[in-house]
């Protein structure tokens, strides 16, 4: 089960426990789509995303786009090193607008 979710204080937190690549993109999109409901606060925990490629990134972009069209709140939390690296590479940090915590444990990349 790659996706874990729990609802707490009106916030739906979803943890993606897998890589986000072209191999998982279809599955993840289908699993994440039901959470996209108006007026919810969807929190996606990216701490366990070991790897992310363009397709995975595209899923995140898709969710961001859905949040504005369907009017719900999307926040990405606990970005893993892989995710941060891609967001920085593509200068997308501000696009998602979430605070990124950089762990001291990450090796210099």
Nearest 5°: the CA angle 66, 1, 104 is 75
Please report, as ranges, the residues that interact with other proteins according to CB under 8 A.
22, 25-26, 28-29, 33, 53-55, 57-59, 61-62, 65-66, 69, 86, 89-92, 95
The smaller minimum CB distance to other proteins, of residues 10 and 38, is found at: 38
> Smallest distance from the beta carbon of 105 to other proteins, in angstroms?
23
In the bound complex, what is the minimum distance in angstroms from residue 74's beta carbon to other proteins? 13
Q: Which is nearer to other proteins, 55 or 77 (CB)?
A: 55
Q: How far is CA 9 from the centre of its chain?
A: 20
Shorter beta-carbon distance to other proteins: residue 91 or 104: 91
Structure tokens at 96: 């998602």
């Amino acid at each position: 089960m790659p996706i874990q979710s729990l609802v707490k204080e009106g916030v739906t937190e979803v943890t993606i426990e897998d890589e986000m690549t072209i191999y998982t993109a279809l599955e993840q999109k289908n699993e994440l789509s039901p959470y996209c409901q108006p007026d919810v606060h969807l929190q996606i925990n990216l701490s366990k995303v070991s790897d992310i490629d363009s397709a995975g990134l595209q899923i995140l972009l898709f969710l961001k786009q859905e949040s504005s069209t369907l009017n719900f709140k999307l926040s990405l939390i606990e970005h893993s090193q892989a995710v941060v690296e891609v967001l920085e590479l593509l200068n997308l940090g501000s696009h998602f607008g979430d605070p990124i915590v950089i762990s001291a444990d990450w090796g210099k990349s």
